[in-house]
Structure 1
Amino acid sequence: MSKLGKISLLFSGLSLTSMVIIRSMLGDWVPFCWVALGLSIFFLGLTLYWDRRFLKEFLTMKTTKEGMSMGVLIALMLALLIVVNYLGVKHYATWDFSTAHTNTLADQSIKLVKSLDSDLKVLFFYKKGVEGNEDNRRMFRELIKKYQDQNPRVLLEFVEANERPDLAKEYGVDKGSGVVFLDYKGRRNRIEKIDEQEFTSAMVKVTRTQNKNIYFTVGHGEKSLEDAKEGLGLNALKVMLENNRYTVKTLPLIQTTKVPDDADVVVVAGPIQGFQDFEITALEDYLKRGGSLFLAIESQNSAGLEKLVKKLGIELQNNYVVNVVETVLGKGVNQGPTSAPIFAPMNQITKGFGQNEVTLYRYPQALKHTPVEGMTVDELVKTAPNSVAFPTLSLKGDGPQGSYALVDEVTGKWQADGKEFRVIVAGDVDFMTNQMLYQNLNRDLVLNSVAALAKEENLISITAKEPQSTQLLLTETKFSVFLFAFIIPFPILLLGVSIGLWVKRRNA
């Protein structure tokens, strides 16, 4: 290569380098970039012109042809890898081999995300330097990837609050530990917990076009919806329902004498004063119209609702169910909350509950199924078989032992040609109060029950899946077979093959 050709090639490289540096520093294309690019092409052209003979001889050499052939082969291989990787990113499949399918979305989530007909914007707000942000972002990215696998309309964006103060102000972001907003067709919802349950519930809220009306009866000493300080109030339940885009209203039946037509669900929460006959009739008329009713009735205080419940095929036992525990002195009565670990496996409300989870109650009463034509009763929640029922709160003597139903679901038609109604009867009200609502599976049971009553099966709360361990149990005989058929022969076989290959190569 000639001296002028080398100098010209050097200037061409310097011009190209200066263009790249200026473009990177300014972050935009400026007119000088065209000048630098033009000079680079000009000097490269001079190099090719001055050393055309040298290049012709170089390209016709045997070694050059072989090298170019190898280069073309490498280029084709790289192109093939790029195409394979591109197709792998655009079209891929995943398999979940975990026993509990912990890496797979629930059916409700899959059904809901596939129904999206517009982009669902997911904005994750964070602040640099806040402890735990990187882990939260990684976990959230892995979660959203499962939804994006089902529908590419789920769009994820990470927003640094300090870099986008306008967007942070618009969404009302007030902290930097990781706040998520879902935006769908202008409807927004905020979540702060990174799990499938919260995200899918938030999706339901933003995709729902109309709120459901939940009426709570008042005037009979029911638990207060406005009482936020006392443990036995229902303010936490009201807030939870409103956060799930339900409209919570009160229903003074003694004044209106009729359940409003826009009532999606009517809740009777622990009344202590009797319902009048015309109020019971109003509830029955509501069921005849295909209504949904949630009755939470305390033991020894049915407030006149036992007649209505009996027509549904359920008899209130007016007892107190407690758990039996093993102590140093023998069996004893658990003075704390009564736990119920048995759930209806096929019912939409409870089929997602874990095997090792429980719901908690405060001295609940048992419910007995008494068959009534046209009514179907499903025992949603039951206590363990060693539970005991006492007639009074003194808890003395030997009560009958067994597994007691605490929450039942009734479906049917009040009249043969009428609409189908749905009723949930619970032998306790304390499990939905401020003190106990967020303990164990109580929240899920309440939300799932309201969703089922409101005919919103896609809002059924999703319980976190429990990782299950696989145990390998070997008898003495099986262990001996495993040891002498695999553990000992396999290393010896590998050693023999290795020695054989070494001897063969040595003598070759």
Structure 2
Amino acid sequence: MKMWLFPLWVIIDVLVALSSVALWIAAPEYKTLNIGLSVFAVTLGMLLSFMRWNELMVFVRSPYFKRVLYHGMNVGLVIAIAAVINYLGNRNYKEFDFTSEKRNSLTEQTVKVLEMVKAPLQLTIYAKREEWKPLLDMLKLYEAKSKNIKITAIDTDVRPDLVKAKKITQNGTVLIDYKGKESSFIIADELSVTNALLKALRDQQIVLYMVTGHEELSCAEVSPEGLSELCAKLASQNYEVKPLDLTQTKAVPSDASAVMVFGPVSGFLDSETQQLEKYLAQGGSLFLGLAPAFKSEVYDNLTALAKPYGLKLGKDVVIDRLSTVQGSEATIPIISSYEHEHPITSQFDLRTVFPLSSSVSVLEGNDSATLIAFTSSFPGSWAETDLKGVTAGKAEFKEGQDIKGPIGLLGVGEMVGEKSARDSRFVMLGSSSFLINAYQNQSGNPMLFLNTVSWLVNDEGIISFNRPGIEEYPIILSSQHIQMIFVIAILLVPIIFFGCAIFIYRRRRLL
């Protein structure tokens, strides 16, 4: 081997060995790569040592080797001490918040929730490695407050098998494993984590009944027209979904947290609506998701249940011209306007899609109902009452007949129960297609739906945190100030350090 090749291979071996150590520390999940690099570094080192064994023995017996060994042991000792300190720091995570509003600490409400964690609770982040840091920084605050909480992170690019097995559909998903029960949520902020923990700690099982027997949308249907994806998301929140055929029962089951009716094609018998009416009177909650009724009599006895809650479903189809600008059809409103004073949409700003919708309005003189999602103002949108014209592809606003926008598409109402143990809640959705699989992956529909169901069953957790307001003192910099900062930071400081280095160098040369 040429003389210059041997030192080159030594340098390569050292670099590979250092890279292997760094990877074992920073990315232990890349086991195949780490083991491969380690084996390569050890094998190459042994081979290089064997090739120069005699020279190596001479070097080991020399006084120079003793000095190298001495300094190497000192460096190794310093590294070992730093490693121990780092290990103890990770095992005993502490963080100090010196801000006056404690913006970088968990709220007292979250701390009280963490005191409820009495058994081991595992939080597993599913995200790309480059997205880990802010997510881990947030969850480490929880881990520091509770010894029962442990955190792990999975790189979705490295472990697609786990992503598929756990049915993870979005980066930033956190899987909670507590007492053998799994649930998932999308981490956004402290509020989202704390509410997810509250649901995981819930002792009482929430049971949702979906009415069947009228050709409703089905959880078993995996086609774009089915509800399989939405039902899977309900299951991920630890909600149990059961079918309910009202023609086979005399009353809604007593364990029902809420009853949901999604997209029936045929009408309801009076005996069926009477069961629902009795259930509501006892403090039950009902979610109606109905498509525009081109045969108006189909929903009459069903929508009458919404009247005591101050809600009304229009016999019309909502037209939104602005949706055509965004590449959609006028009968598929794309919504970004919400009532942020309501718990369901207080922190919701995602775009949602309401295909083929009827209007939802609040009855006059009723204060218990609220519209939480609505279209743009007229002439951008209106409610078209000529259903035959919509079917024929002709829709024009008619003064005095059609309703000007903004048009409500999702409304909620609440009645405080006097005789029942809980309040009765009602949700009216003017579009059953809002729920189907075809619109679950490209919009905020599933998030809005889950927020609505959480409110419906009184499982919304903490609506907001009691944080003091932030006092802002903005610093306004003029162009002269910005120029001064540039001169000092970019020019003056480097010149000073460079000048000091030259001065010290010349001074040592003279000594």
Q: Give 5+ residue unaligned stretches, structure 1.
A: 1-77, 126-131, 161-167, 463-469, 503-508
What residue number does 1:338 align with?
333
* Map 1:214-225 → 2, pairs under 5 A: 214-225=208-219
Q: Residue in 1 aligned with 2:59? A: none
From 252, 277, 281, give the equivalent of 1:259.
252
* Identical pairs, percent: 25
C-alpha separation between the residues in 1 aligned to 2:220 and 2:351?
A: 28
Question: What residue in structure 2 maps to residue 142 of structure 1?
Answer: 137
Shift of 1:93: 2.9
**Structure 1 residue 376 corresponds to structure 2 residue 364:** no
Corresponding letter in the other structure for 1:120: L
- State the distance in 2 between where 1:442 and 1:415 align: 34
Q: Choose from 316, 320, 324 the match for 1:323.
A: 320
Q: TM-score under structure 2 normalisation? A: 0.60
> What is the root-mean-square deviation in Å for CA atoms of aligned residues?
5.0
The question of whether the paired residues in 2 share the 8 Å contact of 1:220 and 1:271 is answered with yes
What's 1:209 paired with?
203
CA distance in 2, matches of 1:445, 1:178: 18
Contact in 1 for aligned 2:384/2:395 (Cα 8 Å): yes
Amino acid at match of 2:395: K
Listed one character per residue, the Cα deviations across residues 277-321 of structure 1 (whole Å, up to 9, x for unaligned) are 222221111111111110112212552323222332222222111
**How far 1:488 sits from its partner (Å)?**
6.4
- Find 2:351's aligned residue among 349, 355, 358: 358
Q: Structure 1 CA distance, aligned partners of 2:310 and 2:172?
A: 49
Give the counterpart letter for 1:344 in structure 2.
E
AA in 2 matched with 1:116: V
Of 478, 481, 499, which residue of structure 2 is paired with 1:482?
Answer: 478
Q: CA deviation at 1:194?
A: 6.8
What code does the residue aligned with 1:323 have? D
**Contact 1:408/1:426 (<8 A) preserved:** yes
Q: How has the CA–CA distance of structure 1 residues 294 and 353 changed in structure 2, closer, same or farther, with 3 Å as cutoff?
A: same
Question: In structure 2, what is the Cα distance between the partners aligned to 1:387 and 1:206?
Answer: 41
Q: Secondary structure at the match of 1:294?
A: strand
Equivalent in the alignment of 1:290: 283
- Per the alignment, do residues 179 and 487 of structure 1 end up closer, same or farther by CA in structure 2, a change over 3 Å counting? closer
What CA distance in whole angstroms lies between the structure 1 residues aligned with 2:453 and 2:348? 16
Report if the CA contact (8 A) 2:280-2:424 is conserved. Answer: yes
Please give the secondary structure, in 1, of the residue aligned with 2:396: coil
What's the secondary structure of 1:93's corresponding residue? coil
User: In the alignment, what sits opposite 2:303?
Assistant: 306
Preserved contact between residue 221 and residue 273 of structure 1 (Cα < 8 Å): yes
The residue that corresponds to 1:184 in the other structure is 178
Instruction: Find the counterpart in structure 2 of residue 238 from structure 1.
Output: 231
| Residue equivalent to 2:42 | none
Paired residues, number: 379
State the Cα distance separating 1:335 from its structure 2 match: 3.7
CA contact (8 A) 2:362 2:370 kept: no
Matches within 5 A, 1:39-438: 92-94=95-97, 112-113=113-114, 115-122=116-123, 134-135=129-130, 138=133, 140-156=135-151, 182-185=176-179, 187-189=180-182, 203-204=197-198, 206-229=200-223, 231-300=224-293, 302-304=298-300, 305-325=302-322, 334-335=329-330, 337-354=332-349, 357-371=350-364, 376-385=368-377, 386-391=380-385, 392=387, 393=390, 394-398=393-397, 400-413=403-416, 420-438=423-441
Q: Mark the CA change 1:372 to 1:194 in structure 2 (over 3 Å): closer, same or farther.
A: closer
Deviations 1:36-65 (A, max 9, x none): xxxxxxxxxxxxxxxxxxxxxxxxxxxxxx
In structure 2, give the amino acid aligned to 1:293. L
**Structure 2 spans left out of the alignment, 5+ residues:** 1-80, 156-160, 466-471, 501-511
1:122–1:181: 8 Å Cα contact kept in structure 2?
yes
Counterparts of 1:286 and 1:339, CA distance in 2: 34
Say which SS state the counterpart of residue 455 (structure 1) adopts. coil
1:124 and 1:179 in contact (8 A); partners too:
yes
CA 401–255 in structure 1, closer or farther in 2 if over 3 Å, else same: same
Which protein has the larger Cα radius of gyration, Structure 1 or Structure 2?
1
Answer whether contact 2:183 2:236 (CA < 8 A) is retained: no
TM-score computed with the length of structure 1 as normaliser: 0.61
Evaluate the alpha carbon distance shift between residue 214 and residue 378 of structure 1 in structure 2; reply closer, same or farther with a 3 A threshold.
same
Given that residues 339 and 373 in structure 2 are in contact (C-alpha distance below 8 angstroms), is that contact kept between their aligned partners in structure 1? yes
Q: What CA distance in whole angstroms lies between the structure 1 residues aligned with 2:459 and 2:369?
A: 20
Distance in 2, Cα, partners of 1:484 & 1:299: 63
Partner SS for 2:304:
helix
Aligned with 1:448: secondary structure?
helix
Q: What amino acid sits opposite 1:377 in the alignment?
A: A
Instruction: Give the AA of the match of 1:338.
Output: P
Q: Could you tell me which amino acid in structure 2 is paired with residue 387 of structure 1?
A: S
Secondary structure of the equivalent of 1:457?
A: coil
1:242-268 per-position Cα deviation (integer Å, ceiling 9, x unaligned)? 222211111111221311111101001
CA distance in 1, matches of 2:166, 2:436: 30
